[in-house]
Structure 1
Amino acid sequence: MSLQVLSIIVVGLTFALYIGIAIWARTGSTSEFYVAGKGVNPVLNGMATAADWMSAASFISMAGLIAFLGYTGGAYLMGWTGGYVLMALLLAPYLRKFGKFTVPEFIGDRFYSKTARVIAVISLLVISITYVIGQMRGVGIAFSNILNVPLTIGLISGMVIVFIYAVFGGMKGITYTQIAQYCVMIFAYTVPALFISFQLTGNPLPQLGLGSTLVGENQYLLQALDETLVDLGFQPYTEVRGMSMTNMFMLTLSLMIGTAGLPHVIVRFFTVPRIRDARKSAGWALVFIAILYLTAPAVGAMSMWNFINTMQPGEVGAPEGNVAVENLPAWTDRWEETGLLEFTDKNDDGHIQYYNDGNEEFAQMAEQEYGWEGNEVTKLDRDIMVLATPGIAQLPNWVIALVAAGGIAAALSTAAGLLLAISSAISHDLIKGVIKPDVSEQGEMMAARISMGAAILFAGYLGLNPPGFAAEVVALAFGFAAASIFPTLMMGIFYRKMNREGAIAGMLAGLGVTLLYIFTYKGWFFFPGTNMLPDTAEYWLLGINTGSFGAVGAAVNFIVAFAVAKMTTPPPADIQKLVESVRVPRAD
């Protein structure tokens, strides 16, 4: 059976499963639509939360980042997982005890202000829309390669599936669909990792294989990878590269507090029956996430090793050291068709050279001694590494098809959660909370479904016009969450004297400076040609790059909020008592 037919069958079966679950779990009330009737088991909710949060950036893009950044890519692992510890300890149980449907609703009630609620909605929309770009890009990449269809058809197919199980199933349908998607994606991620680890090191556990010696050689995998990269003009894999230590720390911090402030993840803790279940859900989510995140470093290193040895099967600089143009492996054909991988034989020697021509000293030596005239892998999108790795390792077609299904599941699960967050912000927080408080439950449900349909169409447009690779876009979304939502929730729970003026000023300042900083260096990211300064280290403020600036935005939020609160009237006594009561343990 051909790869394309097998892929269609595997992906089609998973889609049938998702739609079947949506039909079974269709909603009939706003409580089921927004928070699944608050009846989800904490273990299952932890699994759904893991799927909701482990997006295309985690499944498709993160291992690609680690493959090219090496040790530096650990910032993404530490930041994205560490944030769940903060969420479990500092936010989840208290927000569940407050008992609201959405994060903007909590902020509006806690700070006794519709203005605060509207600003929270704006922050949520900025975060979610930025985040959903990466998911739609992941859907397009997975469909266009494995199913051999144009990007447009792949995206439309994904949009239809999300529309069916998200619009009709609401949070209840999404929750049980995400449980199925977690099972698909974790199986799809770990199975090829087991194959490749055993293939390279003889150890079937990739976590142990990463620190093992290569089969038939008395050399560790990471040691061999370091030496090979240095031979090709790159920095060693196990050293900090491409980012200063300060930026690495700031990026980790930004991703951590950004994770703890993600509205579409926080809302999952409103779906459990009891307050203590919220903390249990966060703990189980971390366990389920760790299965993938502890595997990702091995996937990144092994995929880079396999790719380099595909391009450089012989001695560096030897006439026959590089792969011949006519002998390029079959997996490259499919990726060349997508436009995400390109080769150019610049020196017409019939071979493809892959090396760091950005290293001037090495490039000059390579030209003089080897006759190389530039890196001939002229385009290598980081987002293809996980999906391409089974083909590079020559694994069976069913494994390649399984990885495709996992990548699509990762993108669709997070996209559904984000679209529900956008929908609830518009229907519940804006329409019912501000514009038309007397709207009927049926009217609110209709508004929610219409707004979700509109959001799906908008997300599809963004997927067809992606501004960057998935993890880069998602890191910016985490920065926005760090600068706006997280500080406000923390002050709302733990500082009873924080008033509406302080909260409003803090959110506006934190989100405002972060947006300004990102548009200064990455205006092209959203509107090509509008950046004011080059996005390079010499122009960054204090050497902090855009992906790491969310931590600075959070600090601005805290400082401005406290300063304004000190100069204005304290919150009413009943609000202060409410804040105290939220933190009092209860025996349920």
Structure 2
Amino acid sequence: MNALDARAWTWIFVGVSLAVHAAVVVWSRARAASAYYVAERRSSPALNGMATAADWISAASFISMAGVVASSGRDGSVYLVGWTGGYVLLAVLVAPYLRKYGKYTVPQFVGERYASKGARAVAVGCAVFVSFTYVAGQLRGVGIVLARLVGLRVERAVLLGVAVVLLQAVLVGRRAATHTQVVRYAILLIAYLVPAIFLSLLLTGVPVPQLGLGGRLSAGGAGLLGAEPGRPLLDALDGLGRELGFGRYTGGTRSRLDLLASTLALMVGTVGLPHIVIRFFTVPKIRDARASAAWALLFIAVLYTTAPALAAFVRATYLHAVEGTPYRSAPGWFTGWERTGLARFTDRNGDGIMSVSGDPARNEVSVDPDILVLAAPEIARLPPWVTGLVAAGGLAAALSTATGLLLVIAASISRDLVKGLWIPRLSERAEVGWARGAATLSAAAAGWLAVHPPGHVAEVVAIAFGLAASSFFPVLVAGIFWRRATREGAIWGMIAGTAFTTLYVHWFKFARPDLDGPAHWLLGISPQGIGTVGMLINSAVLVVVSLRTPAPPQAVQDLVTRLRQPREADRAPGDAPAAGARARW
């Protein structure tokens, strides 16, 4: 397949996508704070569920997740299980209660529930820190797509991505973001399903990817992989991996404790993600928040059940396409990604033949897992338009989540910090100005981290989830279900959990990356899973300190009781706490 043809199709799909987004932005541009933050609470449950799914299906989900599963097999399943289970946990455990509270942001809830400006300030810092780390992963994803599109090194393409993200986040707001994210969800879903269906048909003759994963090789698929027809796909993939020195694709190397900790960190971290929680504030009523959660879960499940199948298809076609190929005849997809710095051939034995091996000393081909999904159509020699469609979907996923995250940072700084703590009489116009300035500075700083990432996109995002787990999860759950939780417990719990997780990640990813391995990890738990330990530290500190400090004011305890009354939640619009519920600061 001609790589230039694929690039032309990419320009077409991306151009059409951006044009549609621009039209929606102009139509629904935010002019008031309620529109900028929560879309004036006019989103229907189905549309808000679709927009939530677009927020959720980030660059990590679209670009990186299947690539990580393809490269690591069973070990990559923690992302599938953790992120899917985490959304269920969020929808059932936290979202309806926070929506009943009826404010814009999580720090607002923390501040009023714990009757403390200090708790609100710490929550603002945690929200900004989590969102900053998360948005860095999304900007990396934007940069990867743009790098292939315009032929730049990924580092330069990230800077271009920062400008693209800011163009929407700074100029519009949550209302426009809701509508554009509905469009983006449709784009990214089609872009994800089309190559998966093509590959499933190619390898197994089954048009449903989820069924193709457990299917048997068709005659065409057997010829492509050099295996006998009728052999189970996963069995053929295990055999191909063993021949090249890899472990079983259906096996893994990570310890069970690390797998458990990483999965749990992703699950409980979901509950503390500010940009997802705020989505439940954009619907008119509390019962709509529950319906919105159900719709979002349905939309998310479509992609997440397709990911493991796509990962297996990609790994099979990639290994077959690279192994034994002369470098002078390297396929166009490889040389194209080589120019971005995300693919590399090192001729260790001087024979000019590309060789893939599970032994690092013998392996000659290095391909970043983040490019495997984007390159899948070219690897399998699918029509050029499929390549363009996948690139447009990857860009839509990264832009959608990056925009939502920047809006959370903007809301946290302008509404919770500036107006909530520093300048209470700040005008609406000035507040939106502060929000846009905060988004601009945050995007610039996150762009630096995206240029110097501590890992692939899914790994960076997993770290953000760990930070969310260690900072917000215990405080939110205790704030809803435990009347005795105090402001001192909340403050010191957030500080202890976040500090531990941050220092652990910094040590292994930045200070001493040479020690980043199971032999040096605490209890064999990786930086992606350490958020679980941070969450336990936060919980322990919160409980101990709360029991050793005076109980919260009665008004706060009454608020906690009201938050857990479903009948009242179904009757009330949820735009403000009941009379007398606002705590004294």
Tell whether the structures are fold-level matches, with TM greater than 0.5: yes
Q: Which residue of 2 aligns with 1:238?
A: 250
Q: Which residue of 2 aligns with 1:33?
A: 36
Q: Which residue of 2 aligns with 1:562?
A: 543
SS of structure 2 residue aligned to 1:502: helix
Taking the aligned partners of 1:156 and 1:73, their CA distance within structure 2 comes to 29
Q: Is 1:88 the equivalent of 2:75?
A: no
Q: Which residue of 2 aligns with 1:425?
A: 412
The amino acid across from 1:472 in the alignment is E
SS of structure 2 residue aligned to 1:295: helix
**In the TM superposition, what is the alpha-carbon distance from 1:353 to its structure 2 partner?**
1.5
Q: Which residue of 2 aligns with 1:315?
A: none
Q: Which residue of 2 aligns with 1:183?
A: 186
Pairwise mapping of residues 57-96 of structure 1 onto structure 2 (< 5 A)? 57-96=60-99
Q: Is 1:263 the equivalent of 2:265?
A: no
Q: Is 1:296 the equivalent of 2:307?
A: yes
Taking the aligned partners of 2:234 and 2:513, their CA distance within structure 1 comes to 40
Taking the aligned partners of 2:513 and 2:529, their CA distance within structure 1 comes to 19
Q: 1:479 aligns with which of 438, 445, 466?
A: 466
Taking the aligned partners of 1:150 and 1:376, their CA distance within structure 2 comes to 21
Structure 1 residues 517, 159: closer, same or farther in 2, change over 3 A?
closer
Unmatched 5+ stretches in structure 1: 313-321, 364-373, 525-529
The amino acid across from 1:116 in the alignment is A
Q: Which runs of 4+ in 1 moved over 6 A?
A: none
CA contact (8 A) 2:70 2:315 kept: yes
Taking the aligned partners of 1:329 and 1:38, their CA distance within structure 2 comes to 50
Structure 1 residues 270, 246: closer, same or farther in 2, change over 3 A?
same
Q: Is 1:306 the equivalent of 2:320?
A: no
Taking the aligned partners of 1:494 and 1:76, their CA distance within structure 2 comes to 28
Q: Which residue of 2 aligns with 1:539?
A: 520
CA contact (8 A) 1:8 1:147 kept: no
Q: Is 1:406 the equivalent of 2:393?
A: yes
Q: Which residue of 2 aligns with 1:548?
A: 529
Taking the aligned partners of 1:232 and 1:2, their CA distance within structure 2 comes to 32
1:251-273 deviation line (CA, Å, top 9, x unaligned): 11110000111011100001110
Q: 2:478 aligns with which of 487, 491, 496?
A: 491
CA contact (8 A) 1:23 1:165 kept: no
Residues matched between the structures, number? 557
**In the TM superposition, what is the alpha-carbon distance from 1:280 to its structure 2 partner?**
1.4
Pairwise mapping of residues 457-472 of structure 1 onto structure 2 (< 5 A)? 457-472=444-459
Taking the aligned partners of 1:105 and 1:381, their CA distance within structure 2 comes to 40
Query: What is the aligned-residue identity percentage?
Result: 48
Q: CA-atom RMSD, angstroms? A: 1.5
Q: 1:46 aligns with which of 36, 41, 49?
A: 49
CA contact (8 A) 2:133 2:446 kept: no
Pairwise mapping of residues 345-384 of structure 1 onto structure 2 (< 5 A)? 345-358=347-360, 374-377=362-365, 379-384=366-371
Q: Which residue of 2 aligns with 1:330?
A: 332
Q: 1:132 aligns with which of 135, 140, 146?
A: 135
The amino acid across from 1:553 in the alignment is G
SS of structure 2 residue aligned to 1:425: helix
Taking the aligned partners of 1:218 and 1:165, their CA distance within structure 2 comes to 50
Taking the aligned partners of 2:559 and 2:437, their CA distance within structure 1 comes to 35
Q: Which residue of 1 aligns with 2:224?
A: none
Taking the aligned partners of 1:233 and 1:487, their CA distance within structure 2 comes to 44
Q: Is 1:4 the equivalent of 2:7?
A: yes
**512-521 or 415-424, larger mean C-alpha shift:** 512-521
Unmatched 5+ stretches in structure 2: 220-228, 572-585
**In the TM superposition, what is the alpha-carbon distance from 1:152 to its structure 2 partner?**
5.9
Taking the aligned partners of 1:539 and 1:157, their CA distance within structure 2 comes to 37
1:359-412 deviation line (CA, Å, top 9, x unaligned): xxxx7xxxxxxxxxx2111x2111110001100000111110010001111110
**In the TM superposition, what is the alpha-carbon distance from 1:446 to its structure 2 partner?**
1.4
**In the TM superposition, what is the alpha-carbon distance from 1:439 to its structure 2 partner?**
0.8
Report the TM-score, using the length of structure 1 for normalisation: 0.92
Q: Which residue of 2 aligns with 1:165?
A: 168
SS of structure 1 residue aligned to 2:245: coil
Q: Is 1:583 the equivalent of 2:571?
A: no
SS of structure 1 residue aligned to 2:349: coil
CA contact (8 A) 1:520 1:533 kept: no
Taking the aligned partners of 1:101 and 1:508, their CA distance within structure 2 comes to 23
**In the TM superposition, what is the alpha-carbon distance from 1:33 to its structure 2 partner?**
0.7
Taking the aligned partners of 2:259 and 2:155, their CA distance within structure 1 comes to 36
Pairwise mapping of residues 105-116 of structure 1 onto structure 2 (< 5 A)? 105-116=108-119
Taking the aligned partners of 1:406 and 1:260, their CA distance within structure 2 comes to 26
Structure 1 residues 156, 353: closer, same or farther in 2, change over 3 A?
closer
Q: Which residue of 1 aligns with 2:212?
A: 209
Structure 1 residues 539, 152: closer, same or farther in 2, change over 3 A?
closer
The amino acid across from 1:282 in the alignment is A
CA contact (8 A) 1:128 1:421 kept: yes
**In the TM superposition, what is the alpha-carbon distance from 1:560 to its structure 2 partner?**
0.8
CA contact (8 A) 1:19 1:161 kept: no
Q: 1:440 aligns with which of 424, 427, 439?
A: 427
**In the TM superposition, what is the alpha-carbon distance from 1:160 to its structure 2 partner?**
3.5
Taking the aligned partners of 1:74 and 1:514, their CA distance within structure 2 comes to 22
Q: Which residue of 1 aligns with 2:576?
A: none
Taking the aligned partners of 2:300 and 2:127, their CA distance within structure 1 comes to 23
1:543-575 deviation line (CA, Å, top 9, x unaligned): 211111111111111111111111110000011
CA contact (8 A) 1:22 1:164 kept: no
**303-312 or 454-463, larger mean C-alpha shift:** 454-463
Taking the aligned partners of 1:579 and 1:187, their CA distance within structure 2 comes to 43
Taking the aligned partners of 1:356 and 1:478, their CA distance within structure 2 comes to 30
SS of structure 1 residue aligned to 2:189: helix
CA contact (8 A) 1:479 1:548 kept: yes
**In the TM superposition, what is the alpha-carbon distance from 1:533 to its structure 2 partner?**
7.5
